[in-house]
Amino acid sequence: MKLFGSSLILAGTALGAGMLAIPMVLAQFGFLWSLALMVFIFLGTTYASLLLAEACTKTEDNGGLSTVAFATLGAKGKYAMNLCFYLLLLCLIVAYLLGLGDLFHRLLLSFGFDVPQPICYSVFSILMGIIVVSGKSHIDKLNRILFILMVVMLFIVIISLFSDLHFDYLLQSADVSMRDVVKYSTVIFTSFASMVVIPSLVSYNHEASAKQIRNMVWLGSIIPLICYLTWLAAIIGNLGTDQISQFNNISELIKAFSGHSSILQMVISIFSALALITSFLGVSMALFDQNKDAISNSNAVSFSLTFILPLFFVAVFSDQFISMLDYAGMVLVFLALWGPLAMAMSTRRPTFKLVDGVDTYTAEGGRFMLVVTFLFGAFIFISWFIQ
């Protein structure tokens, strides 16, 4: 159950951004182009996650990325990874808080309460902080409940939307160039960015075998892919690519279903909130562990850096949900692709001292997959500059 719960944390961390950003970004390409792009990015990010899991199992202190980077890449590598890690998690947390502030404001407004967005996301951040500080077992249990609720809501939405599906919308051929597809690859790449929680999860499942760690990563990566494809098919099949491409934020996407029942609109709102909450839990857990590992072992200091400091950045980057995911994708290339690649290569050297008595994991594919991972990172890196 710990491994299954860890897979759900991995999946839930990815789902928040993707469920809300993917329809607005990929709808313009049509479903078939979107399917091909998502599968391609899924394979690249999953293998990079396996490389990071490999590095974590082969280092003695693996509770935080800072320690793993120091053990495999030395002091300079540690500082470089820490910088990328903080930039990434800050971008993701700001994006999630922006989305949650918008959603909770609209949800409370529907009940007659006009609560400003800053109050909504500030209260939420502090409450989630209390849960994260209480320990990973509490995060695990809460995340299982939220994830199951999210899947139930998704199932209700999918059943409702698939009953009015227009298959001609799914088969529409988008008039886009390859340059347009590459241009938005960073946002899709960020939507699979759950590897930031792997050091915390490997430490949490310290008694697991190498095969179990590998299966945990695969399951946690496949679940978002299935959810994304099903969700995208339902959205495009109901609204069409032309209408979705005009949306600028989450509220407009939800409002587009006003022609359906008000209950369905409410369910979509709750589902979107749950997707963001599960992502926020995973990312904030990773940042909290990183702050304790790299800056201070004090819960109070780590709490302030993780849950209070980002609130100032949220105020600065208001209405920049998609942009923050785009910025995160740029940083993620170094942190989640080339970083794990360098760490895994370091652990495979004959001179690297492995942990005694631990069932270490080595990602399959040998040198060929290491080269493919580097080229995949180069593709995502170049795509950011095309915009």
CA 247 to CA 103: how far, in whole Å? 15
How is residue 339 written in tokens?
């970083």
CA 321 to CA 12: how far, in whole Å? 18
Fold of the domain spanning 2-386: Amino acid/polyamine transporter I (1.20.1740)
Domains of the chain, residue spans: 2-386
Predicted local distance difference test score (pLDDT) of residue 219:
92
Confidence class of residue 251 from pLDDT cuts 50, 70 and 90? low
Res 322 pLDDT > 60: no
Predicted local distance difference test score (pLDDT) of residue 253:
67
The position carrying tokens 């989450």 is 250
CB distance 247 to 253 below 8 Å = yes
Q: Average pLDDT over the chain, rounded to whole?
A: 80
Q: What is the percentage of the chain residues whose pLDDT exceeds 70?
A: 85
Report how far apart, in Å, the C-alpha atoms of 253 and of each of 118, 193, 235, 306, 311 are: 21, 23, 9, 29, 25
Model's pTM, two decimal places?
0.78
Predicted local distance difference test score (pLDDT) of residue 50:
92
Lowest-confidence pick of 139-143, 175-179, 238-242, 351-355: 175-179
Mean pLDDT throughout 191-212? 82
Predicted local distance difference test score (pLDDT) of residue 254:
66
Predicted local distance difference test score (pLDDT) of residue 368:
93
CA 149 to CA 165: how far, in whole Å? 24
Confidence class of residue 386 from pLDDT cuts 50, 70 and 90? low
- Nearest in space to 332 (alpha carbons), one of 192, 217, 182: 192
Confidence class of residue 248 from pLDDT cuts 50, 70 and 90? low
The tens digit of pLDDT for each residue in 325-382 reads 666 667 777 877 888 899 899 988 888 887 776 678 888 888 999 999 999 888 888 8
The tens digit of pLDDT for each residue in 146-199 reads 888 888 888 887 887 777 777 777 777 666 666 767 777 777 777 787 777 888
In this structure, the dihedral spanned by the alpha carbons of residues 12, 17, 18 and 20, taken in order and rounded to 10 degrees, is 120
How is residue 151 written in tokens?
């899947």
The tens digit of pLDDT for each residue in 78-103 reads 888 888 878 777 777 877 787 777 77
The tens digit of pLDDT for each residue in 50-80 reads 999 888 888 876 667 778 888 888 888 888 8
Report how far apart, in Å, the C-alpha atoms of 40 and of each of 37, 185, 229 are: 5, 10, 13
Lowest-confidence pick of 17-31, 34-48, 289-303: 17-31
